[in-house]
Structure 1
Amino acid sequence: MYDPTAEVHPRVWADHPTLADVLPAIGTALGGLAPALPIPTARDVVLLVVDGLGDVLLEQHRESAPSLTALRAGTVRAGFPATTATSITSLMSGTACGSHGIIGYSFRTARDQTAGRERRTLNALRWTLDRSDGTSALDTYEPEAIAPHPGTIADLAARGVEITYAMPSAYRGSGFSRAAFRAVGEHVGAQTPTELRTAIIELLRTHSTAPRFVYAYTPDLDAYGHLFGPGSPQWVEALGVVDRMVADVAAELPSDAVLVVTGDHGMIQADNRIDLDTVGGALTGVEAVAGEMRVRHVYTRPGALDDVHARWTSIVGDHAHLVRREQALDEAWFGGEVTDVIAERVGDLVAVARDTTILTRSLSEPTLEVEMPGHHGAWTAAEQFVPLLVAHSTSRAT
């Protein structure tokens, strides 16, 4: 069991597998070879992503999730930042965000990618401008240009693997889905865990002449963690629902199918808030603040970097790691390879909150986001480590 508050720095933990290693391993298993990760060879593989399922949280609440606990085959790092938009794109592309380009919940792109228009902040998860509840960014930022790496999911399709996506229907065709899921496939709408369980079981019962990969996704655990806090009664109840769903699917697996379950990040409960909108001087010399409350990209005005760095150092103190872009890139925070175009998206300063601190913007971001207790994105073990759970015909959940 990891210390939940221990920091999992990308440079120190570079050799530990990440979410970017999962789909390449699945591709190897579908090809009949033994992958680096503990995933058995199979004709059909279902990858179920449980949003917000951290390994530390699972261990802390193992009595509420006996089936998930019994299937644990290892852990992987979410990668940095530990946030849904980045993690899912890393999963599908098989690369870190320095290659695929979705470097966080929100960020700015290079000026030359906006056709001479004012540089705007892109919320990658919602595909909106400036705020999560802002106007659509589709006319400003083409998803396939922002995330130009088709990646492993496209490679599977090119090999003849049949691709199916089972997730809430609202996600189909969204800006983020276009950026992350770069292979044509069948879409099955599944709004609830019950619908998702039924969809997966029915897909596996359907005959196919080609090997199949099913990507399945459920958002509920993450939502309850954000709204009520990880480990809250509501969150624990949602964990139990996921546990029963996984047990049901595992019990129905054909002999030539494998179920792989993982999360996109874990979560911490915030109890120390630094409000950047009300702390004197925090925004002086700053053009924009992006990212999320555990990881902030700070874009400074020309000539203001030194002053902003000094002020933010005084403001955040020991509550956050604060470095300039060059140091973050040198230390491979965003992966070992970062293209020049994507490097320009990184803030002039990057702030990574420590322990249970969050860097809020009470006047500039939606109240619901500012006030929610559950957060993720940074380096604590509670946020970074996600479980790798594997079920097949000889290891079904009980």
Structure 2
Amino acid sequence: MTPGEGPGATLSDVLPAAAAALGAPQRPVDLALPGAARVVVLLVDGLGERQLAAAGRDAAFLGELRADGQVLTVGHPSTTATSMASFGTGLLPGAHGLVGYEVMDPARGVLLNELSWDPAVDPRAWQPAPTVFEHLVAAGVACVHVGPHQFAGSGLTEAALRGARYVAARSLADRVDATAAAVRRAPRSLVYLYWGELDKAGHEHGWRSEAWRRELGDVDLAVRELGRRLPPDTLLLVTSDHGMVDVPLARPDLADPAEAVGDGLAVGVPVSGGEARAPMLYCAPGQAEAVAARWRERLGPGALVLLRDDAVAAGWFGPVAPHVLPRLGDVVVACPPGVGVHDSRTQRRQLTRLVGLHGGRSPEETEVPLLVVAGARTG
């Protein structure tokens, strides 16, 4: 399997392709799937294609599926909130508008954390485009979302994934049970199952850690079990929202007083958003070009540091809607390998202790697998 199979296919194509497989096409996609009466989509948070390729016996069953799978790319930044909106709406980030972990809310002049959300922001106004789930329900397809209790009705769920009936379940085994039951309740259905513990293990311990490998092994067994329990007219898809890189803990922090003077990274940057691998810099008036030059010099030749208009012109976010443009930083950064930049002025200090990070534009972060099981799997 090589990048580019399924020409130009992205994570935003998965649910539109599933809709076409169910006989309810939403839009044309470059991703072709076999027809099915029912579809199950398992999204494993943090399972990048490069990480899966290196997993070996820790993911024997997924490895078998990978041999016939495809490689998708995710939008910028390669982070959960952005990718979940691309997945749920079938749109690229510049269209759906969830353009980072933390982004500027132009109406209030403060950052919005698009993962944890803020009750002051109406998620349906922030992201008004219909989701693929809403399209399918209108077409007569029963849609179910299986995930953790705390995500039911959350801001991100409402913005990116609304339309499906939510079923809360705690453990991976419980979610497999709930998915297997839900898919049988209707002759034409789509069930979406989310699992986030692999991403958590990678953040806390790194994706090469024993904890990460154990969690991947649990996912591998769960996919095998789920495949055994689905009706024969069901298509099972396994994908992810991003990959991950391990980054040394010695990282610049804009909260460091030394970064606020001279050629420091905080000079001219009263507010930064994004995250460590993909900072978005909201600059003081007239300072964007000087800030970009400082960041390029400091981060080195592997860094991508673009003014907002240049990032948009380069297609980082896909076509950008006018109402989304002010959410983007004046300077948009993709850090080079092994580098992350924090801003504890606004971000939780716990983030500085994370080993595994994502958000950047490396293949390790942006390539994700699409694994397909057609019909019940008994192997």
Give me the TM-score of the superposition, normalised by structure 1: 0.88
Match of 1:204 in 2: 183
Q: Deviations over 1:78-109 (max 9, x none)?
A: 22111110111101100101000000111003
Match of 1:168 in 2: 148
Match of 1:86 in 2: 82
Helix, strand or coil at the partner of 1:273: coil
Match of 1:236 in 2: 213
Post-superposition offset of 1:358: 0.7
Match of 1:130 in 2: none
Post-superposition offset of 1:283: 1.7
Match of 1:283 in 2: 266
Which aligned segments of 4 or more residues in structure 1 are displaced greater than 3 angstroms? 12-15, 32-36
**Match runs of 1:92-171 below 5 Å:** 92-110=88-106, 113-114=107-108, 119-127=109-117, 137-139=118-120, 141-171=121-151
Post-superposition offset of 1:361: 2.5
Among 62, 66, 86, the alignment partner of 1:68 is 62
**Matched residue type, 2:103:** F
Post-superposition offset of 1:15: 5.5
**Match runs of 1:308-347 below 5 Å:** 308-335=291-318, 337-347=319-329
Q: CA 1:302 to 1:174, structure 2 compared with 1: closer, same or farther past 3 Å?
A: same
Match of 2:280 in 1: 297
Post-superposition offset of 1:70: 1.4
Q: Deviations over 1:107-128 (max 9, x none)?
A: 0032xx34xxxx100000000x
Helix, strand or coil at the partner of 1:359: coil
2:207, 2:356 within 8 Å by CA — same for their partners in 1? yes
Q: CA 1:14 to 1:41, structure 2 compared with 1: closer, same or farther past 3 Å?
A: closer
1:167, 1:189 within 8 Å by CA — same for their partners in 2? yes
Distance 2:119 2:29 in 1: 38
Match of 1:18 in 2: 10
**Matched residue type, 1:138:** P
Q: Deviations over 1:254-298 (max 9, x none)?
A: 111111010110000002623333234322222310001010110
Distance 2:96 2:112 in 1: 15
Structure 1: unaligned runs, 5 residues or longer: 3-7, 128-136
Q: Report the more deviating stretch, 273-282 or 346-355.
A: 273-282
2:52, 2:59 within 8 Å by CA — same for their partners in 1? yes
Among 348, 360, 363, the alignment partner of 1:381 is 363
Match of 2:157 in 1: 177
Distance 1:95 1:226 in 2: 27
Match of 1:134 in 2: none
Helix, strand or coil at the partner of 2:327: coil
Helix, strand or coil at the partner of 2:300: helix
When the two chains are superposed, the root-mean-square deviation of aligned CA atoms in Å is: 2.2
Match status 1:47 vs 2:41: yes
Q: Report the more deviating stretch, 17-26 or 30-39.
A: 30-39
Helix, strand or coil at the partner of 2:150: helix
Helix, strand or coil at the partner of 2:252: strand
**Matched residue type, 2:145:** Y
Q: CA 1:343 to 1:56, structure 2 compared with 1: closer, same or farther past 3 Å?
A: same
